[in-house]
Amino acid sequence: MRAALPGRSAMTWQFDWAFPTVKQRFVNDREFVWNRGKGLGGSSGNNYYMWSKPAAGDINAIAGSSLLSVSLQPEAGKTYCTLMAVLCRPFSRGTVHATSSDAWAYPTIDPHLLENDFDVELLVQGFKYIRSFAQTEPFQSGVVREMDPGVRVSDDDQQIRDYIKNTLMNMAHAVGSCSMLPRENQGVVDPELKVYGTTNVRVVDLSILPLHTGAHPQATVYMIAEKATDIIRASRE
């Protein structure tokens, strides 16, 4: 069985909620799409694997046939490769708030992207590493030239910062809206996954993590669910 599931390339189509964020003042007042798939499998492209059995044993390497570029128009007959730096553990902290008692009303989402200067500096170093990687053999022998940003952006830190703020993309693996922390530290759930102030309401998803993992979080969610099963079963014995 094969099914079309919302992913990164379909953030604004009919099967995705495509929540808009508020303007991000540290990213040149740009608005972002906070994708959340409506169907089984959600908005994670990794969930496609529930419908498909890959021939290869290793499916951790992430690659795609699409070209990710803000300004580059590819020429026919030529081959391109996109290298990206991804900040897995941002220090900026955002907010999500309900705007209405209407369950269908969009929430106010403010991820506060790049609000923490350390996030920007990490991405600057990531940019420099990617550029140096492309200039190192054996990879370099397969590169004709850097297309985007190319000569428009030198190795000057400020130029790189400006480029990042103009081209930043949000990967939308958000965590922490129902953090497992002490209540006095703005926690929402206790170690038994129960929401503070309730007797039988638990949260079992990625929102309980106060800090992000250093990789795609799919396996982490599965383990949270397994642990929740043990906790709930034990509470009923």
- Answer yes or no: do 18 and 85 share one domain: yes
Whether 36 and 148 share a structural domain: yes
Q: State which of 167, 199, 221 marks the end of a domain.
A: 167
Same-domain status, 90 and 133: yes
Question: What percent of the chain is predicted at pLDDT more than 90?
Answer: 37
Q: What is the pLDDT of residue 9?
A: 46
Residues 206 and 139 in one domain: no
Banded model confidence at residue 80, pLDDT cuts 50, 70, 90:
confident
Range of the domain at 108: 8-50+79-167
Dihedral over Cα of 125, 130, 133, 135: its sign: negative
On whether both 133 and 196 belong to a single domain, the answer is no
Region of poorest pLDDT, from 18-22, 43-47, 62-66, 165-169: 43-47
Are 176 and 143 in contact, with CB atoms under 8 Å apart?
no
Which pLDDT band, with edges at 50, 70 and 90, does 102 fall under? Answer: very high
* Same domain? 153 vs 219: no
**Domain limit, last residue, from 167, 193, 213:** 167
Residue 163: is its pLDDT beyond 50? yes
Which of the residues 97, 112, 173, 212 is marked catalytic?
173
Catalytic residue among 97, 112, 212, 216: 216
For residue 67, tell me if it sits in a domain.
no
Predicted confidence (pLDDT) at residue 151 exceeds the cutoff of 80: yes
In a domain, residue 145? The reply is yes
> Partners of 172 in the beta sheet?
none
**Rounded average pLDDT over 63-87:** 73
Instruction: For residue 55, tell me if it sits in a domain.
Output: no
Residue with tokens 């850097």: 146
Give the separation between CA 190 and CA 197, rounded to whole angstroms: 10
- Answer whether residue 2 is part of any domain: no
Considering the domain boundaries, does residue 189 fall inside one? yes
As for how many domains the chain has, the answer is: 2
Both 38 and 153 in a single domain? yes
Whether residue 26 is found in the same domain as residue 134: yes
Position 72 in a domain: no
Residue corresponding to tokens 């102030």: 197
Q: Are residues 99 and 142 in the same domain?
A: yes
* Same domain? 222 vs 124: no
Longest pairwise C-alpha distance within the chain: 66
- Calculate mean pLDDT across residues 43-72: 51
Domain limit, last residue, from 167, 196, 226: 167
Q: Residues 107, 152: one domain?
A: yes
Q: Tell me whether residue 216 is one of the annotated catalytic residues.
A: yes
- Any catalytic annotation for residue 97? no
Name the percent of the chain lying above pLDDT 70.
76
**pLDDT confidence of residue 185:** 93
Same domain, 12 and 126: yes
pLDDT in tens, 208-221: 999 888 777 888 99
* Three-state DSSP state, 103: coil
pLDDT above 60 (res 141): yes
For 184-200, what is each residue's pLDDT tens digit? Answer: 999 999 999 999 999 88
Q: Which residues contact 221 (CB under 8 A, 6 or more apart)?
A: 205, 206
Judge whether residue 61 has pLDDT over 50. no
Question: pLDDT-derived band of residue 169, with 50, 70 and 90 as boundaries?
Answer: confident
Is residue 42's pLDDT more than 80? no
> Whole-angstrom Cα distance, residue 43 to residue 40?
9
